[in-house]
Amino acid sequence: MADCDYLYKIILIGDINVGKTSIVRRFRDGAFDDTYRTTIGVDFAIRTLDIDNKQVKLQIWDTSGQERFRSITTSYFRNAHGIVLVYDITNRTSLEVAERWLMDVNRLCGDSPVNLLVGNKSDLIDRRQVTIQEAKTFAANHGMIGPIETSAKSAANIDQAFYSLAQELVQCN
Ligand code: GDP
Ligand code: MG
């Protein structure tokens, strides 16, 4: 590849409404829109990050509404290098169902991807239902990196989350 040193396929998974589409959109466009509606075709982002002077291209895939059925097709997971598992810090159920997403990852991903746990909606701190400690325990128990708390709305930690994942991927290679 001429234009980058590394190319990674990253997929976002997690319960519906946790903010996956908003995270991808924030990362790609630097924007947030409360009225934004998911459409197939825009749930995709490519950005090249500079990691230790290496050009690391991330190809990021959103689930395009498939999470409604709590299952995602094999083709979506195939050849993923990294997984971003998103829950909503104001919704306890969204962390509880994360377990199920990981089972799908283990079943459907060929090689073991690097998994990052992301707690979104950190701007809604007064409605918090999941503590950072609980998320740390979850991540540790499942061999994940993170957790990182983000807000697609305020942009807090969105870039940092993808940088951490990219850094880990580069180190693994
Ligand atoms: P998805 O179903 O996981 O793709 O979630 P969406 O990106 O469609 O977001 C679901 C809802 O949560 C939408 O109403 C978003 O505007 C809202 N949302 C997403 N991220 C944030 C965030 O960081 N903070 C707040 N307050 N709302 C968010
Ligand atoms: Mg979505």
Rounded to whole angstroms, the Cα distance separating 125 from 101 reads: 25
Instruction: Give the end-to-end CA distance of the chain in Å, rounded to a whole number.
Output: 16
- Check residue 145 and give its pLDDT: 97
For ligand 1, whether the C-beta of 66 sits within 6 Å is no
Determine the residue of 12, 17, 36, 101 to mutate for testing ligand 1's pocket, defined as the one with the most ligand atoms within 8 A of the Cβ atom: 17
Give the pLDDT band of residue 70 (cuts 50, 70, 90).
low
> Considering only CA atoms, which residue is closest to atom 9 of ligand 1?
19
What's the burial of 65, exposed, middle or buried (CB within 10 Å: 0-12/13-18/19+)?
Answer: middle
Respond yes or no on whether ipTM tops 0.90. Answer: yes
Q: Which two tokens stand for residue 146?
A: 């993170």
Q: For residue 168, what are the CA distances in angstroms to 48, 89, 154, 161? A: 15, 24, 25, 11
Here the tokens at position 158 are 């969105």
Residue 106 · residue 142 · CB < 8 Å: no
* Residues 5-63 pLDDT 10s: 999 999 999 998 999 999 999 998 888 877 656 555 447 789 999 999 999 999 999 87
Determine the average pLDDT of the residues in 109-119.
Answer: 90
Mutate to test the pocket of ligand 1, among 22, 40, 87 (most ligand atoms within 8 A of CB): 22
Reported pTM: 0.93
Residue-wise pLDDT tens digits, 148-167: 999 999 999 999 999 999 99
Instruction: Note residues around ion ligand 2 (Cβ under 5 angstroms).
Output: 20-21, 38
Q: How far is the CA of 56 from the centre of ligand 2 (A)?
A: 25
What is the structure's pLDDT at 41? 46
For the chain, the 3-state helix, strand and coil shares in percent, each to the nearest 5, are: 40, 25, 35
Which bound ligand lies closest to the C-alpha atom of 40?
A: 2
Residue 108's nearest CA partner among 85, 74, 137 is 74
| Secondary structure element (H or E) that encloses residue 125, with its range | none
Cis-peptide into 147, omega within 30 deg: yes
Buried b vs exposed e over 4-21: b needs ≥16 C-beta within 10 Å?
A: ebbebbbbbbbbbebbbb
Measured in Å, residue 118 CA sits from the centre of ligand 1 at 13
Q: How far is the CA of 62 from the centre of ligand 1 (A)?
A: 13
